[in-house]
Amino acid sequence: MIPAAFDYHRPDTLDDALKLLKQYGDQAKVLSGGMSLLPMLKLRLASFAHLVDINRVPGLDYIKEEKGTLCVGAMTRQATLERSDLIRSRYPILADAAPLIADPLVRNRGTVGGNVANGDPGNDHPAIMIALGATYVARGGKERTIPASQFYKGLYDTALARDEILTEIRIPAPPPKSGGAYVKLKRKTGDFAVAAAAVQLTLGKNGAVESARIALTNAALVPVEAADAAKYLVGKTPDDKTIAEAAKMAAAKSQPSADRRGSVEYKREMARVLTARALKKAVERAGRS
Amino acid sequence: MAMHKIKVTVNGAAREAEVESRLLLVHLLRENFGMTGTHVGCDTSHCGACTVHLDGSPVKSCTVLAVQADGAQVTTVEGLEQGGKLHPVQEGFTEKHGLQCGFCTPGMLMTTSALLARNKNPSEQEIREAIAGNLCRCTGYVNIVKAVQYAAEKMR
């Protein structure tokens, strides 16, 4: 399959990339890893007159912790995230997700920034970033930050303006007694989630939940933050009973659509089961940290 | 239509081409350069038959633009053999019967040769995870895993 014709631009600097976006407006699309965009162009589900390839823009590929914040450059490949010792040792929720995204060859090209900026509800990082309380850095005329929880507006529709590029993801480093987990059900390698749950929480001195965030992948047109379920857990001991109740509340927030991956009822039930599993795993990890 | 003059090093040899923006890397290799070892399978970045190394990293060449490979080093299955001697993974696939129809084999060879360059002693699980993006409809993967284990042994 051959995409409809387009012009290809390969700027060497972020400023040049932004100029191209400004110049071509709605006709332009940023090409990051291309693992979602190129298939969509080939299937002719989308077409753009201009692609702005940011793969050679320097300084967008890094993973570093500074002043209590984990900073991930937008062009960081999924494979780099997967192999990062920092991620493995300090951010188990990201380490859980890394090997579950697409397949190893796709992860060699696909980027974290592309995954969060794409606005596809099947992408895994959006729910995870909401659970982690992340903010996205957008560069346009000037730089601004957008909380992940306020970024997703609709199907492929985000808070990012046409002439902005998402450059960095900032994640608050978890305090002691924190744990996170991502649990995903998929039919096969490379498939999007039937359902998946992202949990990040912190326990207090008495073992009760001090703070928690829960979000679901592929449960609606945008990632679903289950704020009520998280709020319910705060101040409570996370045992089988409270976890089951929170999982039920989270699943009630999901609005999946029926497709080849299953019926609405099945997907909602899986969201409940996976939320409970993610909560259990997160609590165990928090207890150990 | 904007055309782009690109320079790509394929299996160590400098190549040039003038390409449309939308030309895919796999078509550059097969049609412009006549190197048909790299296969087009599903053409939707699922099956991995089109896997090549782009600057050392295995990628699906049906989902990379040719123009994106400008200035890059590309290795295809034709480049695995060195001086008339098969690469250990090629030898492994022969010895352990790692293929039947052979359609997925170029992709399998590229993925597994990259795996062994990174991990000299992969476990069976690691081999299976590494080839998760390469589909084989004949072997059930059992002999492919054996072939990679053979190659790993050979390379030690």
**Mean pLDDT estimate for chain B:** 97
- Give the whole-angstrom CA distance, residue B55 versus residue B156: 24
Give phi and psi for A89, each to the nearest 5: -85, -30
Average pLDDT over every residue of A23-50:
97
CA-based nearest distance A189→chain B, Å? 7
User: Across chain A, what does the average pLDDT equal?
Assistant: 97
Q: Is residue A289 part of a domain?
A: no
Residue B45 CA: distances (Å) to CA of A89, A104, A107, B107, B113: 31, 12, 12, 12, 19
Write out pLDDT tens, residues B137-149: 999 999 999 999 9
Residues of chain A with C-beta less than 8 angstroms from the C-beta of B45: 35, 38-39, 106
As for how many domains chain A has, the answer is 3
Task: Give the pTM.
Answer: 0.97
Quickly tell me which residue has 């609709």 as its tokens. Answer: A154
Given this model, what pLDDT does residue B1 score? 62
pLDDT in tens, B41-93: 999 999 999 999 999 999 999 999 999 999 999 999 999 999 999 999 999 99
Split at pLDDT 50, 70, 90, the class of A141 is confident
Reported as a single tens digit per residue, the pLDDT across A142-197 is 999 999 999 999 999 999 999 999 999 999 999 999 999 999 999 999 999 999 99
CATH of the domain at A41: 3.30.43.10
| Predicted pLDDT of residue A200 | 98
CATH (domain of B18): 3.10.20.30
Q: Is residue A243 part of a domain?
A: yes
**Smallest Cβ distance to B45: which of A5, A39, A51?**
A39
Q: What is the pLDDT of residue A224?
A: 98
**A70-79 pLDDT, tens per residue?**
999 999 999 9
Total structural domains in chain B? 2
pLDDT at A145: 98
Q: Which domain holds residue A72?
A: 63-172
Asked, for residue A58, whether it belongs to a domain, the answer is no
Q: Are residues A45 and A89 in the same domain?
A: no
> Are A35 and B46 an interchain contact pair (Cβ–Cβ within 8 Å)?
no
